[in-house]
Structure 1
Amino acid sequence: MNSVKLAELDWMTYRDRVQDGGCRILLPVGAIEQHGPHMSLNPDVLIPEYIACRVAERSGNMLVAPPIAYGYKSQVKSGGGNFFPGTTCVGGRALEEYAYDVILAYAAHGNREFVLINGHFENSMFLVEAADRAVKHARLSGKEIRVVLLSYWDFISEATIEKVFPDGFSGWAVEHGGVLETSIMLKIHPELVDMAKAVDIPPAEFPPYDVFPPDPSWVPSSGTLSSPAQATAEKGEWILDECIAGIARTFG
């Protein structure tokens, strides 16, 4: 079995691949969250998993673990909040404990290096806690492990941003369900995108603070925080090529 997906291997093949820390484990972490009426609920899972698989194919010494699909609570100013049916999130403690347990479970098999590829902005600091605790726990148990945490969008250069957004970039904060994610999904899963349903709206504007309970009136009714109308599969290819090459070059 030559699959880079860990779960598609039989246990003996997996054992032989990972013994003595022979592989890096790539762990995609995403969320189930609305991305507007034009797109499925799972881009935050499918995109990091796709990137992880392409990076692993280039490397030869990486395996891709099944993704963690449920992420931390969607926030109003970055994901539209938890007002929309389909957005299915967990609390920060739950995500932290889940990722922590998964890392240590793989460490018990002999794995020593992990790369967490995040696809949902809100996950970040809870994954930091999980990684930090797992490294400390492993050390106290006589094992040394290393955990890298990255978000794929941090590998997109300003030059590519200018190509993707020739009329100007409104910023990462309002890209939820916008051109970037929609373009990537048009490239990797066009069957999950219906551009006829895309809502062309100006970028959302928010006050410089948060309020609890969250105010639904802050969020456009479409759930997207900017317009996906200019998304294309070609733009998705530009973004993916750069992310995959950058991550493979750094950790391959």
Structure 2
Amino acid sequence: MDWVSYKELTEGGKCKIILPVGAIEQHGPHMSLNPDVLIPSYIAEKVAEKADSMLVAPAISYGYKSQVKSGGGNFFPGTTCVSGSALEHYVFDVLQAYVNHGNREFILINGHFENSVYLCEAADKLVKHCDAHNISVKIYLLSYWDFISEETVAKVFPDGFTGWAVEHGGVLETSIMLSIHPELVDMSKAVDVEPASFPPYDVFPPDPSWVAPSGTLSSPVKATEEKGKLILDECIAGIVKHLN
């Protein structure tokens, strides 16, 4: 979009800006490094198509450090992360720039679990900064998986659901990627692993033996394009319903 068109669409704060935030992180040998960017970006675009007066900003692709018990950790080549303070300040600066353009409402769609608290900090910091300058802003922060119902979970995991914590690189993300970017998934390389089991604590430095050599925390082999479409349809409809 050229700057003149952007100015016309956003003048007077008449658009909500959707900002996808993800991460570059291994998702097993069967999938590309960027599902955490591509999935929230796709959802953002579909929400903007169905909702009123929304524009999708280019995604922030680098996220907070991959954690062993939710993303497999930083042991794998390609996983490329930033510190929490770096992410917080970067998101704050981007949102502040949009405020300076005249925008007043924002939707952050998170695609990487580890980002959550730092996005909260950035949002809180921006609201307080704007309040100090008599500017009223509103920021919605959401993670797409929070819009998946128990009914859909039962359909996607008919043999039982082991929980979101071990879904990294598993059926959920693989199914969505098969639906939106099948060219970035090679199911012939999918590794069938038992769901990860972790002790009730973290340890530093992290212990690589806690994670399967594939990097996934559960098996992706039962992922299908149809499951991905079911998940996406529900997430998109739910987000539109709450934010339109």
Same fold (TM over 0.5): yes
Is 1:121 the equivalent of 2:109?
Answer: no
Q: From 138, 150, 161, give the equivalent of 1:146.
A: 138
> Which ranges of structure 1 fall in alignment gaps of 5 or more residues?
1-8
**Pairwise CA distance, 1:60:** 3.6
Residue in 2 aligned with 1:236? 228
- Describe the SS at the equivalent of 1:67: coil
Q: In structure 2, give the amino acid aligned to 1:180.
A: L
Tell me, in whole angstroms, the C-alpha distance in 2 between the residues paired with 1:201 and 1:83: 18
- Describe the SS at the equivalent of 1:221: coil
Tell me, in whole angstroms, the C-alpha distance in 2 between the residues paired with 1:129 and 1:201: 36
Q: In structure 1, give the amino acid aligned to 2:55.
A: L
- Describe the SS at the equivalent of 2:20: strand
**Pairwise CA distance, 1:139:** 1.3
Residue in 2 aligned with 1:52? 44
Alignment RMSD (CA, Å): 0.5
**Pairwise CA distance, 1:19:** 1.0
**Pairwise CA distance, 1:141:** 1.5
Q: From 68, 72, 75, give the equivalent of 1:76.
A: 68
Question: What are the Cα deviations for residues 3-40 of structure 1, in whole angstroms up to 9, with x where unaligned?
Answer: xxxxxx11111111111111000000000000000000
- Describe the SS at the equivalent of 1:36: coil
Q: Where does 1:173-252 land on structure 2 (aligned, <5 Å)?
A: 173-252=165-244
> Which ranges of structure 2 fall in alignment gaps of 5 or more residues?
none
**Identity across matched positions, percent:** 72
Residue in 2 aligned with 1:5? none
Tell me, in whole angstroms, the C-alpha distance in 1 between the residues paired with 2:51 and 2:72: 36
Residue in 2 aligned with 1:170? 162
Residue in 1 aligned with 2:29? 37
What is the TM-score of this pair, normalised by structure 1?
0.96
Tell me, in whole angstroms, the C-alpha distance in 2 between the residues paired with 1:111 and 1:156: 30
- Describe the SS at the equivalent of 2:82: coil
Tell me, in whole angstroms, the C-alpha distance in 2 between the residues paired with 1:184 and 1:164: 11
Tell me, in whole angstroms, the C-alpha distance in 2 between the residues paired with 1:81 and 1:122: 11
The alignment covers a number of residue pairs equal to: 244
- Describe the SS at the equivalent of 2:158: coil
